[in-house]
Amino acid sequence: MVRAAVTRQSNMAAFKARIREIAKTRVLVGIPQANSSRSADGGGGITNAELLYIHTHGVRQQTMRQDMKSDMDQGKKYSEAYQLYVQSHGSPLWHSPPRPVLEPAMDYHKDAIKVDLSEAVKLYLQTGRDTGYRKVGMFGAAMAKGWFEHPANGWAPNSPKTIIKKGSESPLIDTGAMRQAITYVVDKGVV
């Protein structure tokens, strides 16, 4: 719980304005699409933001995606067993398992994030400064970057073929460009 005191009546208007601003403020951790370009050394036109999305959900061949979309547009549903398989193992065609980063990293560290966010709100109410929000963002970005090698990430190991081709057993770590592209934004937009 956040507690703040208003010592003078003249501060009440500023205090109320800050409360309204808090309701619109979000700390976003991820890879902003606008700043997610990859170098021409094999990126294949895919941005870091798109690559992170692909690795979060696993890879499915385009024909499989089109067939699934067509089926869903017609009201067909996939069995729970099949949905669970795809979520757990990725594509049965391409064998690229999901390796989510952002949501599990934030969930794993949610208690620390709650403490930092509570302090950020209190600081903002008292001073109007958003330095606490930026601290939450830096912490979240660091936790997401650390998730790539965190023992609790639960990622499937690289296949033997991938290890030979890549020369590494570490899933999702090649040049480190995608991991380093993770950042944060303090968004004071409209809710």
Q: What is the per-residue pLDDT across 25-42, written as a single tens digit (0 to 9) for each?
A: 999 999 987 766 665 455
Residue 88, burial from CB neighbour count under 10 angstroms (0-12, 13-18, 19+): exposed
Mean pLDDT of the chain: 82
Q: Are 103 and 113 in contact (CB under 8 A)?
A: no
Which pLDDT value is given to residue 40?
Answer: 47
Output 83-91 pairs: Cβ under 8 A, ≥24 positions apart: 86/58, 86/60, 87/58, 89/58, 89/156, 90/57, 90/58, 90/59, 90/60, 91/58, 91/59, 91/60, 91/61, 91/64
Question: Of 2, 99, 121, which is closest to residue 54 (Cα–Cα)?
Answer: 99
Question: Of 83, 39, 34, which is closest to residue 58 (Cα–Cα)?
Answer: 83
- State the Cα–Cα distance between residues 95 and 85, nearest whole angstrom: 11
- Inform me whether the pLDDT recorded for 49 exceeds 80: yes
Within 10 A of 5 (CB to CB), how many other CB atoms are there? 8
Which pLDDT value is given to residue 151?
Answer: 92
